[in-house]
Amino acid sequence: MSEARAAHKRILLKLSGESLMGDDAFGINRGTIVRIVGEVAEVVNMGVEVAIVIGGGNIFRGVAGGSVGMDRATADYMGMLATVMNALALGDAMNKQGLTARVMSAIGIEQVVEPYVRPKALQYLEEGKVVIFAAGTGNPFFTTDTAAALRGAEIGAELVLKATKVDGVYTADPKLDPAATRYNKITFDDAMAQNLGIMDATAFALCRDQKLPIKVFSIFKHGALKRVVLGEDEGTLVYA
């Protein structure tokens, strides 16, 4: 284990599907996924228990044109299958880089991945395995943000990490306003009052009600995940 002492023992990392694309228009960029796995390996080797919820936007983007006018529930189920594809790719990359990953799906496709069972997920985490939750909540009309909040609460995570392209939450869009400043921390109520759009409303309300803090940070910033886990000034903390 690293000499550095982690500030958090168990975390839930929320990755968007787009974070796996790199510079590609859609799909999975192998170099990008390998780099992300390297960041996760750093914190796992510190003794941190890591669970991951991943989105499917990078895969679904490739078929989105054909989904216009489609029934919403059908489209959402397609999106769930896209998250399973991402979870399998991520798990494979982790296993090849020396980690032990287990993919668990909220929808039943047992020939491909095992079903989500909470006690089993907890057992895997306690054994030092990385657990990747696929297929969102298993229900249409709910986002993978909501799945992250739900699974985070279920496994007793100390922190939900929302990985984005931006290194935190700002007073305004930093690309449009050079004077925009990053919040070091902000309460759930203040974030809602300012309509900052950190997560969808259902996910945000669940985290607030469960007093489950959210840390927003950039997955593209080298070493940021480790700094978050160490409790350093990285990203923005949203707390009750």
- Bind-site residues for UMP: 56, 76, 137-144
Region of residue 4 (left: phi > 0; alpha: psi -120 to 50; beta: else): beta
Which residues are annotated binding-site positions? 14-17, 56-57, 61, 76, 137-144, 164, 170, 173
DSSP 170-211: BSS-TTT-TT--B-SEEEHHHHHHTT--SS-HHHHHHHHHTT
3-state secondary structure of 107: coil
Calpha distance 84→189 (Å, rounded):
33
Calpha distance 179→173 (Å, rounded):
9
* 240 within 8 A of 187, measured Cβ to Cβ: yes
* 84 DSSP 8-state letter: H
Give the β-pairing of 236-239 and 214-218: antiparallel
3-state secondary structure of 111: coil
Which residues are annotated binding-site positions for ATP? 14-17, 57, 61, 164, 170, 173
- Name residues whose C-beta falls within 8 Å of residue 167's C-beta, 6 or more positions apart in sequence: 182, 217, 218, 221, 224, 234, 235
Report the b/e string of 104-118 with b at 16+ CB within 10 A.
Answer: bbbbeeeeebeebee
DSSP 212-238: --EEEEETTSTTHHHHHHTT-S-SEEE
